Chains A and B, each alone.
Chain A
Amino acid sequence: MSARPEVVPPQPWAFPEPQRHTLDNGIALLAYDIPGQYVISVRTVLPLPLTVEPRELEGIATITARLLDEGTARHTSEEFAELLERKGIALGAGMSDSGLSVDLDVPKRRLAEALDLLQQALGEAVFPEAEVTRHVRTRLAEIEQERAMAPHRAAREFIATFFDSDDRASRPSAGTTQTVSAITREAIVDFHRRFIGPQGMTVVVAGDLSGVDVTALAGEVLGQWRTEGQEVAEPSTAPPARAADATRIVLVDRPGSVQSELSVGCAGPDRRVEGGWAAYPVLAFVVGGSPNARVDAVLREEKGYTYGIRSGFRPRRRGGLFLTNGSVRADSTVESVKLLLGILDGARDGFSDNEVRSGVDFISKTAPGRFATADAVADEAASLALEGLTTQFTTDNLLAMQSLDSDALVEAYQRWVDGQWTVVIVGDASLYADELKTLSRGDVTVVPN
């Protein structure tokens, strides 16, 4: 073999700059021109905290979002679906804990028609009774599917254990069987009238925009949308409350399960955290971001207990979580939990210069490729807009990352990781419930699947 080639370092990179415009009705328009991207991605976001949902109707925001294209003032549900499909449009809508998102992808030459249909979905949805019934039923079936899938079941138990039961964050964002069953057409119409409107909305358009006057196109349709009495809910200013007894182990019992799904976490930062966000993606990579990161170096490459376990910081509008998730062979559960918590706690002791360099370089040097496509650019801009931020944050964050050292990483890690872990395990509890108590990581509770 020839000699190992030297690597030439890449040039610094910045996130693409958008054209900014405010439509007549107040909608903020961000247009990212990305040559060669022939499918245009449109992302519409409206910050809206889930706390605006009535307690007994939780999930109504999600059901409302899913019904936006199921019948409008001008078209039945089936007609609307056909209009989208014939123009090659993919449209989807959903709700996160930060707000409403309506996403659309369309070949460039159909952009004008797509924006017109988007406006009809947002502003002219009529929520036919039959479609409401169908989507409620679909969500109820989805809840049962989620219960059957170990990662989903673990996520549901994690938020129920970690967050205070009075906090909205402790319950599924798309609602439970009880609350979704109570949702009516009348309630949806009222919810839509009160909360869905142009005030506070951002529309992101990304793709090859040469020869396209996006401002005019958007102004003609989205800019003409008017509502009366839209209530603008203030985003929460405090992180969701942690449960007083969050430091414990909960086993979701599934007799006969061949693997155990682990979800281990503690409180984490949001993007506005003191000291800056830059350290956290790097930490996640170093601790649990690749087959040779600290967690998988042991649990996968040394022990062969797992196909892969990943760590990540999950910021919310305020507050966040530091989560590590993955599945392990059932008979390795206790040892896996012990090793995993040991690795997570042990990272408080510090990181090597090589780890810091690798993590910083991975996050920063992959950025041009991660944000090369229209959908990736639009998704980043939209998710930041939901948090009240712009993509200048992405650029600034990558720049700040360059000056991180091991001291900065340790300080950031220790700010959150204090050895107080919430551990959820979905699997056959009879195999390991007793032995887990010997780990002294808090009470061990078994709950049914």
Chain B
Amino acid sequence: MALDYPIHEKTLANGLRVIVSPDTTVPNVTVNLWVNVGSRHEAPGRTGFAHLFEHLMFQGSRNVASGEHFTRLMAEGGRLNATTWFDRTNYFETVPKGAYELALWMEADRHGYLLDAVNQANLDNQRDVVKEEKRQRYDNVPYGNALIDTYAAVFPPEHPYHHPTIGSMEDLDAASLEDVHAFFRRHYGPNNTVLTLVGDLTPEEGFDAAERYFGELPASAEPRRDNHDQLSPITEPVRFERHDQVPNDRLHMAFRLPVDNTDDYFAASLALDVIGGLTTSRLVQRLVRREQVANAVQAHSMGFVDGVSLGFIVLDIADGQDPDVVESRALEELERFAHEGPTDVEMESALAQAERSWLHSLASQEERADAISQHTLLHGDPQFINTYLDRLTAVTGEQVKAAASTWLRPQNRAVVAHLVATEEEAA
């Protein structure tokens, strides 16, 4: 279906790209900022720093007290947070219309004048909080390290995606106040940022407010390096095993993919849907429904910009089944798919599910604003939310087959195996 969400864009003199998308269905405004810095920009020995830095953005700035960003905006009816990922960091709040200028003012204060307030006590406290976040999300969870192991297995050691955004405990310990200052000066500034406003406001109101609060900030961020060249697929299988106290064996079978926002990436992601992502995918039909050797199968693709994306299939091995046997059957299906390509029904299904999923994500102002910021910052394409479905629908079965043949063959895989520890290993 043709989408026509309004998109108005303007670049301020200091380089801030501003997008306004009016939507009067709810009396709210979403303020969404994407900064072009993520864990891919981290220096050796400082993994996890981009994320730790994001936490410090809530600990006060020149005119905002520590913690006030949360308390003030929540008390005005705001829902807000921030996240850090390989490619970028985002900051966002959805507030009643009458509070959006306050939100912009507070964002401008921390995006311009964070260093006035940051101090050793805040750094130490948030370092502890982030370590607990790492323990809660990764270290104290069954299979919690599966994706971290996957990145390390799929991407070369010197590559920006080799290490996870959460970083290592040692590197978090090493982070200093000087690092905070240097990081802010290098990476933060309107010329490295996109601001998207979605909601109950006119383009003029949005642009004027952006100018009013962000206009005085200098274009302080260093220019971005070029993105890395496209990585080739792995040519020999890679395997990493972890023997652990987990309920059952689980395999993450991962692949390098083309960079995001390309027809090749869309084709590869549709191929992964058909192979393992749909409830009627080939692996679900065979391994879960018919042979019942897996409890569940999933497949995901993560689009990145720095020379490669990631695709992976998760095989949750049923009790009493041999993971090597299940893996070999999955490889048969990969090989078969690379030769056959998708059927018409498989293409129809993958596109129908992608359509619902995309429309669902655009249903909320928050996610719409996030998608606009993403594609403006990383791809220079503010209209992406309107054109994506048409582009996806234009992908042919032949292209999907070609993508699978290039990127999703057995020899292109890296397998991370989380296996149930034997009693001797557990002891």
Instruction: Say if the beta carbon of A232 comes within 8 Å of chain B.
Output: no
Q: Which residues of B contact A137 (CB under 8 A)?
A: 292, 295, 318-319
B76 touches which of A7, A138, A147, A297 (Cβ 8 Å): A7
Bound CA span A36–B26, Å: 11
Q: Which residues of A contact B230 (CB under 8 A)?
A: none
B247-A307 in contact (CB<8A): no
Instruction: Say if the beta carbon of A440 comes within 8 Å of chain B.
Output: no
A10-B141 in contact (CB<8A): no
Contact flag A1-B108 (CB < 8 Å), given A39-B360, A304-B125, A307-B136: yes
User: How many Å from the CB of B348 to the closest CB on chain A?
Assistant: 5
Q: Which of B335-356 contact A (CB under 8 A)?
A: 345, 348-349, 352-353, 355-356
B140 touches which of A78, A109, A327, A358 (Cβ 8 Å): A327
Instruction: Say if the beta carbon of B237 comes within 8 Å of chain A.
Output: no
Contacts A369-B366, A375-B363 supplied; 7 other A-B pairs, CB < 8 Å: A7-B76, A78-B285, A134-B289, A137-B319, A362-B77, A365-B76, A372-B365
B247-A145 in contact (CB<8A): yes
Instruction: Say if the beta carbon of B43 comes within 8 Å of chain A.
Output: no
Q: What are the interface flags for A116-141 relative to B under an 8 Å C-beta threshold, 1 for contact and 0 otherwise?
A: 00000000000000000010011001
Bound CA span A106–B79, Å: 27
Kindly report which residue of chain B lies nearest to residue A306, judged by CB atoms. B132
Q: Pick the interface stretch among B31-39, B97-105, B189-197, B263-271.
A: B97-105
Instruction: Say if the beta carbon of A237 comes within 8 Å of chain B.
Output: no
Bound CA span A221–B408, Å: 43
Q: Which residues of A contact B75 (CB under 8 A)?
A: 357-358, 361-362
Q: What are the interface flags for B301-320 relative to A under an 8 Å C-beta threshold, 1 for contact and 0 otherwise?
A: 00000000000000010110
B-side binding surface: helix, strand, loop or mixed?
helix
Question: A interface, how many residues as a size bin?
Answer: 35 or more
Q: Which residues of B contact A7 (CB under 8 A)?
A: 76, 98-99, 102
Q: Which residues of A contact B384 (CB under 8 A)?
A: none
Bound CA span A305–B126, Å: 10
Bound CA span A304–B345, Å: 53
Question: B interface, how many residues as a size bin?
Answer: 35 or more
Instruction: Say if the beta carbon of B235 comes within 8 Å of chain A.
Output: no
Instruction: Say if the beta carbon of A368 comes within 8 Å of chain B.
Output: yes
Q: Which residues of A contact B126 (CB under 8 A)?
A: 304
Kindly report which residue of chain A lies nearest to residue B142, judged by CB atoms. A148
Please give me the 10 A-B residue pairs with the lowest Cβ-Cβ distance, nearest first: A365-B77, A304-B128, A8-B98, A88-B352, A10-B96, A144-B247, A5-B101, A358-B75, A307-B133, A88-B356
User: How many Å from the CB of B361 to the closest CB on chain A?
Assistant: 9
Bound CA span A112–B242, Å: 49
Q: Which residues of A contact B359 (CB under 8 A)?
A: 38-39, 107
Instruction: Say if the beta carbon of A189 comes within 8 Å of chain B.
Output: no
Bound CA span A307–B137, Å: 10
Instruction: Say if the beta carbon of B280 comes within 8 Å of chain A.
Output: yes
Q: Which of B364-384 contact A (CB under 8 A)?
A: 364-366
A-B CB contact pairs (8 Å), 9 listed: A1-B113, A1-B216, A39-B360, A85-B278, A107-B355, A134-B288, A304-B124, A307-B133, A357-B75
B295-A374 in contact (CB<8A): no
Instruction: Say if the beta carbon of A37 comes within 8 Å of chain B.
Output: yes
Bound CA span A149–B137, Å: 11
Bound CA span A8–B29, Å: 13
Bound CA span A200–B36, Å: 53
Instruction: Say if the beta carbon of B135 comes within 8 Å of chain A.
Output: yes
B363-A327 in contact (CB<8A): no
Instruction: Say if the beta carbon of A257 comes within 8 Å of chain B.
Output: yes
Q: Which residues of A contact B67 (CB under 8 A)?
A: 291-292, 297, 301
Q: Which of A352-377 contact B (CB under 8 A)?
A: 357-358, 361-362, 364-366, 368-370, 372-375
Bound CA span A304–B123, Å: 11
Instruction: Say if the beta carbon of A35 comes within 8 Å of chain B.
Output: yes
Q: Which residues of A contact B74 (CB under 8 A)?
A: 290, 358, 362
